[in-house]
Amino acid sequence: MPRIAFTVDGERREIDADADMPLLYALRGELALKGPKFGCGLAQCGACTVIVDGAATRSCVIPIAAVQDSEIRTLDRLGTAEHPHPVQAAFIAEEAAQCGYCTNGWIMTAVAGLERNPRPSDAEIRAMLAGLKCRCGAHMSMLRAVRRAADRMASAENADESTG
C-alpha cells in the first residue's frame, strides 16, 4: 500500500492507502475532518469540495495518489468562530444556509474563485458557483453572500492600498 504525503491546512500528513482511494475518504475517514461532505460521490453536487493547490476540487472523485505533495485547504481551518474568513462572515450576515449540508462546497468554491478573481461581476460569481447543488433552494442567499464577500474583500484591499 503506497504512502501518500500531502499538506492539509498547513500540516504535513502521511497516509498509507490504496492509490485510488478518493481524497474525501482520506480527509474524513483517516484525518477526521468534518468540512468536506459526502453528497453524491459523483462530482455532481460539490458538497465535498476542498481547495487543492489553489483550485476548488471535488474530493469525492479525485484519487488520493493524485494529491501527492499537494497543498490542500479545507473548511475545517478556513476561519474560526472568533475570526471567520470573509466568505464565512458574509454567509453568516446573509443567513445563507438552511440545512447547511451544501455550505462547505459553496464556501470553498467561492474562496478559491475570489482568490483567482477578487473583483468579479455578478455574472462571474454565477459562473464561479455554477454546478453547485443545494437541495434546500438557498441559492439566492448564497449568491448574495458571495457578492457581499467580494465587495468587502475588495474594499478592504482598497483601504490597504490607500494606507500602504
- Note the residues at the interface with ligand FES (CB under 6 A): 38-41, 43-48, 58, 60, 97-102, 134-136, 138
* Shortest Å distance, C-beta 162 to ligand FES: 38
Complex with ligand FES: residue 49 or 70, whichever CB lies closer: 49
* Shortest Å distance, C-beta 139 to ligand FES: 8
- The alpha helices in the chain, defined as continuous H runs, are 23-25, 86-93, 103-116, 122-129, 139-163
* Shortest Å distance, C-beta 160 to ligand FES: 33
* Shortest Å distance, C-beta 32 to ligand FES: 18
Grid coordinates 484525518 are at which residue? 31
Complex with ligand FES: residue 95 or 157, whichever CB lies closer: 95
The set of residues, in sequence order, having a beta carbon less than 8 Å from that of 147 and lying 6+ positions away, is: 122, 125
Nearest-angstrom CA–CA distance, 147 and 7? 30
Complex with ligand FES: residue 7 or 98, whichever CB lies closer: 98
Contact 146, 125 (CB under 8 A): yes
